[in-house]
């Protein structure tokens, strides 16, 4: 039987829980930190370790059959993949935040303002849906320091505890997208018998942890 490939994050917030989920499904593999691919020795699956940003396209293009990645990354990459299962970890919300004390009363106050983000696609969709004309400054990281440096009026970034916003003098203003880690697959892969088996195991692990 030809092994399928699943792409998971190599290191970062989703790595440990992705590995733990697969192990809890009874999959036996060595989690070499240095290698980018490892074989499961009791199930027809290979695991690819990638930057999370690359996972949606790898799955869309069929280089990997399956992937575990945050919904925010899938939305930002605008890929055509199938959502197979929400996984219940990596929960966070993409939020617009403004300097504490600004007290904007409605979303309309963002008109004419600049917003720094690493998620320009999702943010632009949100602004368009809400008929707001703001300028987006795309930066790749440390988005939260942008208003303090005078680079933007507001930010749009991922929030989980809110601690980072607070320590940068910002407060949440609007929720843009709520996200968690999901299992995705390339088009039509869900009818594959190996995928069906893996999905059943994942669902029983999730049920057991409820
Ligand atoms: O190296 P690679 O590219 O693979 O990883 P990465 O650095 O791009 O991503 P990583 O590991 O930080 O996050 C992976 C995924 O975890 C994200 O795509 C989200 O789906 C999810 N996730 C959950 C988070 C957070 N929580 C989170 N808190 N991703 C990022 N953050 C950051 C956020 O950007 C902000 O800087 O944490 C900070 C805010 O945290 P709080 O707790 O202070 O609010
Ligand atoms: Zn990334």
- Report the nearest atom of ligand 1 relative to the CA of 163: 43
Ligand 1 centroid, distance to 179 Cα (angstroms) = 11
- Complex ipTM more than 0.90, yes or no: yes
pLDDT in tens, 171-185: 999 999 999 999 999
* Cα 83 to ligand 1 centre (Å): 20
Q: What pTM value is reported for the model?
A: 0.96
Q: How far is it, in rounded angstroms, from Cα 126 to Cα 129?
A: 5
Please tell me the predicted confidence (pLDDT) of residue 32.
73
Ligand 1 centroid vs 191 CA: distance in angstroms?
Answer: 32
Asked if residue 141 has its Cβ within 6 Å of ligand 1, the reply is no
Give the model's pLDDT for residue 1: 73
What pLDDT is recorded for position 31?
82
119 CB near ligand 1 (under 6 Å): no
The residue nearest atom 28 of ligand 1, judged by CA position, is: 160
Q: Which residues of the chain fall short of a pLDDT of 70?
A: none
9 lines ligand 1 (CB under 6 A): yes
Q: Residue 76 Cα, ligand 1 centroid: separation in angstroms? A: 14
């Amino acid at each position: 039987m030809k092994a399928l490939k699943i792409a998971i994050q190599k290191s970062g917030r989703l790595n440990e829980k992705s590995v733990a989920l697969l192990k809890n499904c009874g999959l036996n593999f060595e989690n070499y930190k240095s290698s980018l691919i490892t074989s499961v020795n009791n199930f027809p699956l290979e695991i690819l370790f990638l930057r999370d940003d690359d996972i949606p396209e790898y799955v869309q293009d069929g280089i990997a059959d399956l992937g575990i990645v945050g919904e925010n990354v899938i939305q930002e990459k605008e890929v055509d993949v199938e959502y197979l299962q929400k996984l219940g970890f990596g929960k966070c919300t993409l939020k617009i935040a403004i300097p504490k004390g600004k007290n904007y009363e409605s979303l309309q106050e963002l008109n004419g303002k600049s917003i720094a983000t690493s998620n320009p696609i999702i943010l632009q969709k949100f602004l368009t849906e809400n008929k707001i004309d703001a300028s987006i400054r795309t930066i790749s990281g440390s988005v939260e320091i942008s208003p303090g440096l005078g680079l933007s009026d507001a930010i749009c970034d991922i929030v989980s505890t809110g601690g980072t916003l607070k320590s940068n003098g910002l407060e949440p203003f609007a929720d843009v997208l709520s996200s968690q880690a999901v299992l995705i697959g390339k088009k039509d892969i869900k009818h594959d018998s190996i995928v069906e088996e893996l999905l059943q195991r994942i669902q029983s692990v999730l049920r057991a942890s409820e």
